[in-house]
Amino acid sequence: MCHIRRKQYIMTEKEKLLKLFHTFAKFCDDNHLSYFAAYGTALGAIRHNGFIPWDDDIDVHMLRKDYDRMLQLRNELPASYRIADISDIGYTAPFAKFIDNNSSIWEFEHVPYMLGAYIDIFPIDDCPKNNESLSIKAAFDKSFNNYYISLQKWTYKDVVLRLLKGRPIAFWNSLKVKIYMSRRQKKYHTKLMTLYKKLISLHDDNDCISTCSVLPGKHFMKKEWFRETIEIKFEDTTIKVPKAYDQYLSFLYNNYMQEPPIDKRVTHHSRFFSDLERGLTIEEAKKIIKENKK
C-alpha cells in the first residue's frame, strides 16, 4: 500500500470509521431506518465491545425495506458522503457502502475505483431455502465474479510481464480480461442486475438470505433472528445487534467467543492506496504513487 505504514494505518482508519459510523447512525435515526451490526462487527461488539483488534472495518445488515429506503435517500446526503451500490456501473461490490468523500481508498491496483473510508451494508431479503433460490444465488455469485473481473484494467505491458516472470496462468487470465471480458462489462452488469432482482423477488415466511453474504455457505438464516435488536457498547458509542445474536453468531462462527490462533488474526482487506485526509481521484492517486517511487 502506498505511503502509509500498516500499523499506523489500521489505527487511523479505525478512528475514521468510528467517526463515520456516528454519521451513519444519525442518518439512520433521522430517517427511521433500522440497521444492526453484521459479521465481524457484531462479533466484535459482543466479544470485544468494539472492533476486533486485528480487524479494520464496520459491517451492518439492513432489512430490504430499510435498505431500499436508504438508497432512495442517497441524494439527500451532504456532499461529504455518498452511498454506492450494485446498480452503479464500475462499483466493485454486490452490496452498498456508506462512504466518506473526504478520504481515499483504492483497494486493488488493477481495479481502478476510488472509495473513501466506508461502512459495508448488507441487505437481508425474505427468501426460501430451496433448489430454485440456491440455483439463482449460485448464478448471481458467478455473474458478479465475471462482472468484477471485467472491471480490471491491464495494459499489454502488464500482461507480457506476467509471462516473462514465469506466471503463465496469470498471463492468460489477464490477457482474457484485456481482449475479451473488459469489452463485455455492460453485458455482465445487465445480467447481474437481472439475477439480483430475481433473487430478491422470492418470499418466505420463515427464512431469509443475506443476498450478498461474503461468507461461503452462510447465506440463509432465520427471519426470527432479526425481529428485535439491542444496543451493545462499541468503542466510544453503542451499536445495535440482533437480540438473538447468540443464534446468529453461532451460525456464522460456531464457538464465537473463542479467539482464533494468533497466525489467523489478520485483516482481510486490501489497500493499494490510502489517504484518509483527502478525497482524491484515481489520476491524482497515480501521480502521488509515481512521485513516491522517485
pLDDT reported for residue 26? 96
Looking only at the bridges linking them, the beta strands covering 207-210 and 118-126 are antiparallel
Q: Quick one: pLDDT at residue 6?
A: 42
The pair phi, psi for residue 241, each rounded to 5°, is -130, 160
Instruction: Decide if 278 contacts 111 (C-beta within 8 A).
Output: no
Closest CA to 125 of 165, 67, 81: 67
Q: Write out the H or E segment, with its range, that includes residue 253.
A: helix 245-253
156-164 helix and 168-179 helix, angle to the nearest 10 degrees: 160
Note down pLDDT in tens along the chain; length 294 residues.
Answer: 554 444 444 447 899 999 999 999 999 999 999 999 999 999 999 999 999 999 889 999 999 999 999 999 999 999 999 999 999 989 999 999 999 999 999 999 999 999 999 999 999 998 888 999 999 999 999 999 999 999 999 999 999 999 999 999 999 999 999 999 999 999 999 999 999 999 999 888 788 888 887 778 888 999 999 999 999 999 999 999 999 999 999 999 999 999 999 988 888 888 999 999 999 999 999 999 999 887
What was the pLDDT predicted at 13? 85
3-state secondary structure of 114: strand
CA–CA dist 36, 32 (Å, integer): 13
First-to-last alpha carbon distance for the chain, in angstroms, is: 16
Q: How far is CA 9 from CA 141, 159, 273, 276, in A?
A: 31, 31, 11, 9
Question: Edge-to-edge strand order for the sheet containing 111-115?
Answer: 111-115, 104-108, 273-275
Cβ neighbour number for residue 168 with a 10 Å cutoff: 10
pLDDT at 32: 97
Q: What was the pLDDT predicted at 2? A: 55
- Pairing relationship of beta strands 96-100 and 220-222 according to DSSP bridges: unpaired
Q: Cell 470509521 maps to which residue?
A: 17
Asked if 119 contacts 39 with a C-beta cutoff of 8 angstroms, the reply is: no
Biggest alpha carbon–alpha carbon distance for the chain: 61
C-alpha atoms less than 13 angstroms from C-alpha of 72 in its C-beta half-sphere: 8
Q: What's the confidence (pLDDT) of residue 1?
A: 54
Query: Is this prediction's pTM over 0.85?
Result: yes
Cβ of 283: how many Cβ atoms within 10 Å?
A: 9
